[in-house]
Structure 1
């Protein structure tokens, strides 16, 4: 059911048109003047606004034009008995989506409402997809593969909860990015996300870093200092490489996880903090529990929900998409891969996972030859970037083999499809519509290109 705000000062028109629209399955609210319409929209935004331009207090169609921006982003269909071409153009310039003259023809109104509702629906979906795609790209969590879709869905479901999360996965797969995505999709998004690398801080300093200390509590403590737990109050504390945490700190962290209390170094009274814990490690924590190097009770406290970041060899179809994304971000010039580069990307194992892929693309784009038409990254550029080849075209002008027309078109087609997939959040129906293809035709191309 779709919501319509009908703003008109004629009771008979309100009654008849409202009843007719409800008969079509729409939820309809009415307002008798401009101020009431703005208040109703502010209280509950509508999917569509049907706006009479000549309403109290001015009864002037020109004055009614000023109301249109108040209903953004909903499409506004203006209605008036003083219809003329100039007024219609002014209404469109003011942000109206369409214009109807009174008396309103019911069949025309049905068509206009249906089109406006479809536009509103698509605008909402597009905004949601852009937000999701933007988040996924910003977090390095882009990918159309089943493992990445499942991971994003789990993040969406787990983020609003208070449960601790343990993120497992090989190095370079984006564990910190998962923590950031969890934080930004949670009610704690307005509060700090505080990362701490448990293996990068000496054991004797980790307690002070986490829980803070008082002046004089140890040599060098010249002033009171809050810890990272206090800094993260109300937000998220990300404990990276939790498997490296010293045994003595595991005990203190366990107490904090149990009741939210902690004691700064040198303090006699405990403090409390409200933070969500997200921990991550590339190690096998279950094995470390078995060999006694990690506390079993802490392990079970941390694993409220376990998320796993898949390595690239479990999502090979995402390599081309990620590479295109990293290439687009690596340079402000037009850039693309040759077909040989795409084959090279797809054939490699990527032991360093997404981190290695990104570094290789950024390095290769800096080395690749530039021309008036942009940057063309070849397989040689990528091979050198990962240390598997010599510097391409060194000491001599570019000797790159010219591409055939068929190769140029294939590379361009692939790039256009990858970019469209990114823009639509990997929605095949919307991507096909944007590219002017049928959905079946798009799926065949994705299969052929290994992008499905």
Structure 2
């Protein structure tokens, strides 16, 4: 998809129609603010950018726009063409520079080359992910949803804007917060997380702002709060939608001017902290029903990032499952042919977190083989408590391997039933305690 940003109606109409005639999908905008908003809303493969657009109509000012469209290639177009401006555009990150009036044949070649570059960049990203690449921010996946999320993180991280991360439970909202911090100028300072729903309301103020000795019963000494700990870094407010109303007022004051007051203190203190908040709740609905302050909502949403559910990125499921299995089996696990079909056919209301738990549990139950463990659909169904709709056929190995697999599974199941009580497990299986422990040592279950 191509974003065409130009304020001349005739150029918009003719160039847009010409590009569509070549088979490209094109979105047209007429000023810099609209171009930024369009690029933030959806992923574009290429940006054709006029430098002299509103509100400044100044090519020099337009150069500052180029960085906003990374990592998409940007082709600059301007009627104020000169060699010095072209060099500045390239230095600012432009991929190419065209002078108006634009020659159609030249534009066709430039567009084709730029789109090919974008395609290759996506392919490299996908190959890195397929190679096991949880190195890329910890946000694994080559789907369009995850690619767009990583691109937005790269643009947001260097700024000072607060960020609001929205998405269902189990979709990696804390990973997004950690990626924003790691790619920001604050990376050398702490990232401090707190779950707003896990701390009792009466203690949350002290946790965030700290307290002085004697400020309440049990306050035997001064204690710094998380805001002081995070000074110069990032404070991650997980499940911000669970924050009590009284604390919302105090957090709003801190967001307004960076001042806060420890419990028992008489004078305010200052801290430079970037706020990244996250929630699975619909905050707009919470504002409407009065359970969340509207002014705090707008303070927090400097930029909004949305983590997709697993249903919205099912193309990433095999990649994620293999990564979780590789970690759980220390690189010595594989899926049977029926396993990935079973995984992709199932709904995952718990999203990536549920998928990870299922794969890790199945890896513990799976059939041992010479090359490691083989996880089948039956192992996965047992791990999540599902009853298969039809019999699932195991992948058969040698007789010794099947006997070992049955023994492994019986021991794991018995351990689970007895709460890992070795004496009770041995009695249930008709073994001596020493015999059970020897088998567990051999199977790596100790």
Per-residue Cα deviation, 1:45-88 (whole angstroms, up to 9, x for no partner): xxxxxxxxxxxxxxxxxxxxxxxxxxxxxxxxxxxxxxxxxxxx
Which of 286, 291, 294 aligns to 1:293? It is 291
Q: CA deviation at 1:375?
A: 1.0
Q: CA deviation at 1:134?
A: 7.7
- Cα distance change on mapping 1:357 and 1:161 into 2, 3 Å: same
Q: Mapping of 1:196-235 within 5 angstroms? A: 196-235=194-233
- Cα distance change on mapping 1:279 and 1:133 into 2, 3 Å: farther
In structure 1, distance between residues paired with 2:130 and 2:151: 11
Per-residue Cα deviation, 1:373-425 (whole angstroms, up to 9, x for no partner): 221100000011111149xxxxxxxx83438xxxxxxxxxxxxxxxxxxxxxx
- Cα distance change on mapping 1:131 and 1:385 into 2, 3 Å: closer
Q: CA deviation at 1:135?
A: 7.2
Report how many aligned residue pairs link the two structures: 273
**RMSD over aligned Cα atoms:** 2.6
Question: 2:185 is matched with which residue?
Answer: 187
Per-residue Cα deviation, 1:333-381 (whole angstroms, up to 9, x for no partner): 5211111001001101110000000010111011001111221100000
Question: 2:239 is matched with which residue?
Answer: 241
Question: 1:388 is matched with which residue?
Answer: 386
In structure 2, distance between residues paired with 1:269 and 1:188: 27
Per-residue Cα deviation, 1:114-135 (whole angstroms, up to 9, x for no partner): xxxxxxxx9xx989x9699887
In structure 2, distance between residues paired with 1:178 and 1:269: 35
- Cα distance change on mapping 1:193 and 1:215 into 2, 3 Å: same
In structure 1, distance between residues paired with 2:202 and 2:239: 17
Which of 393, 396, 400 aligns to 1:402? It is 396
In structure 2, distance between residues paired with 1:134 and 1:149: 16
Please report the TM-score for the alignment, with normalisation by the length of structure 1: 0.57
SS of the residue 1:350 aligns to: coil
In structure 2, distance between residues paired with 1:257 and 1:202: 22
Q: 5+ residue gaps in structure 1?
A: 1-121, 391-398, 404-452
Please report the TM-score for the alignment, with normalisation by the length of structure 2: 0.58
Question: 2:153 is matched with which residue?
Answer: 155
Kept after mapping to 2: 8 A contact 1:368/1:376: yes
Q: Mapping of 1:355-394 within 5 angstroms? A: 355-389=353-387
- Cα distance change on mapping 1:401 and 1:369 into 2, 3 Å: closer
In structure 1, distance between residues paired with 2:380 and 2:395: 16
Per-residue Cα deviation, 1:266-324 (whole angstroms, up to 9, x for no partner): 00010000110000000000000000010000000000000000001011111111001
In structure 2, distance between residues paired with 1:281 and 1:332: 33
SS of the residue 2:211 aligns to: coil
In structure 2, distance between residues paired with 1:308 and 1:350: 18
Per-residue Cα deviation, 1:82-122 (whole angstroms, up to 9, x for no partner): xxxxxxxxxxxxxxxxxxxxxxxxxxxxxxxxxxxxxxxx9
1:308 aligns with 2:306: yes
SS of the residue 2:223 aligns to: coil
1:283 aligns with 2:277: no
Q: Mapping of 1:119-138 within 5 angstroms? A: 136-137=134-135
Question: 1:352 is matched with which residue?
Answer: 350
In structure 2, distance between residues paired with 1:337 and 1:286: 42
Question: 2:432 is matched with which residue?
Answer: none
Q: CA deviation at 1:331?
A: 1.3
SS of the residue 1:195 aligns to: strand
Question: 1:253 is matched with which residue?
Answer: 251
Kept after mapping to 2: 8 A contact 1:140/1:174: no
Larger CA Rg, structure 1 vs 2: 1
- Cα distance change on mapping 1:313 and 1:245 into 2, 3 Å: same
Per-residue Cα deviation, 1:177-205 (whole angstroms, up to 9, x for no partner): 10001111111111100000000001110
- Cα distance change on mapping 1:330 and 1:279 into 2, 3 Å: same
Q: Mapping of 1:403-442 within 5 angstroms? A: none
Kept after mapping to 1: 8 A contact 2:129/2:141: no
Q: 5+ residue gaps in structure 2?
A: 1-119, 398-446
1:342 aligns with 2:356: no
- Cα distance change on mapping 1:203 and 1:273 into 2, 3 Å: same
Q: CA deviation at 1:254?
A: 0.1
In structure 1, distance between residues paired with 2:128 and 2:268: 45
